[in-house]
């Protein structure tokens, strides 16, 4: 195949859920489109990369700092929901069941992948809990081996903290991603969360 197409295909393969065939199909689709449409896509990606950063308070991706969740006076500062990705914030918020604030870890603990406490922003999380005098932490992580490891680690780090710790109830399948669960499942898991401490 032509080198330029191979390079685009390899770049697209770095996206989650995109394998060899999907990357090739996408690369050929992008290049076969009208140049205006392809340029518009490229410009949108470049512009987003320039403008989007992590919120200084909750670590979610945003084009304003602090993000709209952290700056909202209508949301409860005393409740903090811990998630893995920015996409999880939008999914949880779309249920209409949670009116507190969020904290995005960006990763889950995974020693085999070289991901330790610093990679989940543990120091920033602990500061966030103390600085804002949070009273309840809700851990909303995907029920996987890495998710369970991270939940246990956070609970251990908060062992001497006086607030309440809860996690989502079952209903989200083990090994499943929060991002791909439907609103009703997440709303029920949030409603029926159970206390860990």
Domains and CATH numbers, the chain: 3-51 (1.10.8.420), 54-195 (3.40.1360.10)
Q: Which residue has the higher pLDDT, 64 or 168?
A: 64
Overall average pLDDT of the 77-100 stretch: 95
pLDDT value of position 56:
96
pLDDT value of position 125:
97
pLDDT exceeds 80 at position 139:
yes
pLDDT exceeds 90 at position 167:
no
Tell me the three state secondary structure of residue 79: strand
pLDDT exceeds 70 at position 19:
yes
pLDDT band at 2 (very low <50, low <70, confident <90, very high): confident
Overall average pLDDT of the 59-83 stretch: 96
pLDDT exceeds 70 at position 71:
yes
pLDDT value of position 172:
57
Give the predicted TM-score (pTM) of the model.
0.79
Overall average pLDDT of the 20-27 stretch: 92
pLDDT value of position 173:
60
| DSSP of 89-136 | HHHHHTTT---EEEEE-SS--BGGGTB-GGGGTHHHHHHHHHHTT--E
Q: What is the distance between the alpha carbons of residues 124 and 131, in angstroms, rounded to a whole number?
A: 10
Overall average pLDDT of the 123-146 stretch: 93
Handedness of CA 187, 189, 194, 197 (dihedral sign): negative
pLDDT exceeds 60 at position 17:
yes
Tell me the three state secondary structure of residue 7: helix
Cβ contact 153:117 at 8 Å: yes
pLDDT exceeds 90 at position 148:
no
With CA atoms as reference, report the closest residue to 60 among 99, 103, 100, 94: 103
pLDDT value of position 58:
97
pLDDT exceeds 70 at position 185:
no
Highest mean pLDDT among 23-27, 103-107, 110-114: 103-107
């Amino acid at each position: 195949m032509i080198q330029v197409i191979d390079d685009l295909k390899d770049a697209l393969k770095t996206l989650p859920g995109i394998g060899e065939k999907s990357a090739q199909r996408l690369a050929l689709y992008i290049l076969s489109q009208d140049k205006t449409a392809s340029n518009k896509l490229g410009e949108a990606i470049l512009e987003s990369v320039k403008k989007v950063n992590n919120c200084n308070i909750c670590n979610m991706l945003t084009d304003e700092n602090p993000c709209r969740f952290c700056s909202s006076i209508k949301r409860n500062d005393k409740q903090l929901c811990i998630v893995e990705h920015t996409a999880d914030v939008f999914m949880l918020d779309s249920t209409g069941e949670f009116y507190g604030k969020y904290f995005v870890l960006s990763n889950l603990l995974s020693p085999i992948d070289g991901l330790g406490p610093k990679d989940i922003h543990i120091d920033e999380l602990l500061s966030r809990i103390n600085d804002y005098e949070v009273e309840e932490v809700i851990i909303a992580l995907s029920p996987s081996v890495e998710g369970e490891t991270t939940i246990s680690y956070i609970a251990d780090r908060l062992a001497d903290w006086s607030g309440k710790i809860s996690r989502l109830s079952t209903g989200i399948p083990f090994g499943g991603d929060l991002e791909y669960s439907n609103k009703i499942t997440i709303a029920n898991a949030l409603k029926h969360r159970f206390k860990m401490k």
